[in-house]
Structure 1
Amino acid sequence: MPNSGRARIPGSILLVDDDAGDRLLIQNILKSCNSELGLHYVEDGEEALSFLKQQGAYADAPRPHLVLLDLNLPRKDGSEVLAEIRADPDLAGLPVIILSTSSAPSDIRKSYSLHANAFVSKPGDLNQLRQAIQNLYAFWFGTARLPGP
């Protein structure tokens, strides 16, 4: 994504996805948007909550500006993670984007009922995925105002 004359905004994202290939693709796309972006990832729902609550191995983890959350996760699925984030007063205001291979209307409805900020279905095509991630980055780090970590 070209830098359209705007200063690159520092920020950080927690990517919660158990698919190593998807994580690597998304990481590379985000780094092409902003090489200074703090990008952290975990592979399951339990780790996501530990990271966000700065518990155990994640005691020194930074608070991200944005969470990209897959629905189909081991140990605790994305819907359960989202519900716990929204129930925690320290995390409730954290923007959470569902980024899932699902496009099922029931998953979309459930995610929004749990107060996801957006639901994005991962496109199967690499160029479409690149465009979707670049659009997410441009909106959340260029247009929207995010709370500090």
Structure 2
Amino acid sequence: MNDKLTIFYADDDPDDQDFFKIIIDRMSEKYEVMQHMDGIQLLEALENPPPSPHVIFLDINMPRMNGIEVLKRVRQSEKFGKLPIVIFSTSKEGSVIQETLELGANYYVPKSAGFKELKKSIEHSLQINWETFVPDSNTFLYKDN
């Protein structure tokens, strides 16, 4: 039996995918990352388990189906509507951040250019207790202190 926690990560940038995988591999052996090049691939994987994710990390700017559209689809799903979704994007626009909060994302992490900062933000996101965490305008956005 596989007792690893599965992370679905959708991002069309191979470098970002590599960095994400390296960070997860260095963090702990308890995580398994399933990478997807766009939202359509992620939704297809979601509908065709195994594995099923414990959390989804979504980039916003992707071809074919962007992260906003994936977020809408997952939140409309009866089966996956409560799945934790972390928006993981280079966009730091307030309107985009607000829109993802309103659409039901659980957390927003701006991608950092530095590996150390990127690792810290991903680690922080994976330590959140999604059962009790309530996103609001004060808690939704990851801030590097």
TM-based fold match above 0.5: yes
- Which residue of 50, 57, 79 maps to 1:61? 50
Alignment map for 1:1-149 (pairs within 5 Å): 10-54=4-48, 60-137=49-126, 139-140=127-128, 143-145=129-131
Code of the residue aligned with 1:109 in structure 2: it is Q
Give the C-alpha shift of residue 124 in structure 1: 1.2
Cα 1:69–1:28 change in 2 (3 A) is: same
Structure 2: gaps (5+ residues): 133-145
Identify unmatched segments of 5+ residues in structure 1.
1-8, 55-59
TM-score, normalization: structure 2? 0.84
| Structure 2 SS opposite 1:86 | helix
* 1:79-137 residue CA offsets vs partner (Å, 9 max, x unmatched): 00000000010010100000001001111011001100001100112211111112122
Q: Give the corresponding residue for 1:57.
A: none
Give the percent of matched residue pairs that are identical in Structure 1 and Structure 2: 29
Alignment check: 8 A CA contact 2:84 2:130 kept: no
Mapped to 2, the partners of 1:115 and 1:108 lie a distance apart of 11
Q: Whole-Å Cα distance in 1 between the matches of residues 75 and 6 of structure 2?
A: 19
CA distance in 2, matches of 1:112, 1:10: 28
Calculate the aligned-residue CA RMSD, in Å: 1.6
Distance (Å, rounded) in 2 between the aligned partners of 1:144 and 1:10: 17
SS of the counterpart of 1:131?
Answer: helix
Q: In 2, Cα distance between the equivalents of 1:89 and 1:144? A: 18
Higher relative contact order (CA 8 A, sep 6+): 1
Q: TM-score normalized by structure 1?
A: 0.82
Indicate the structure with greater helix content. 1
CA distance in 2, matches of 1:126, 1:83: 30
Q: CA deviation at 1:144?
A: 4.4
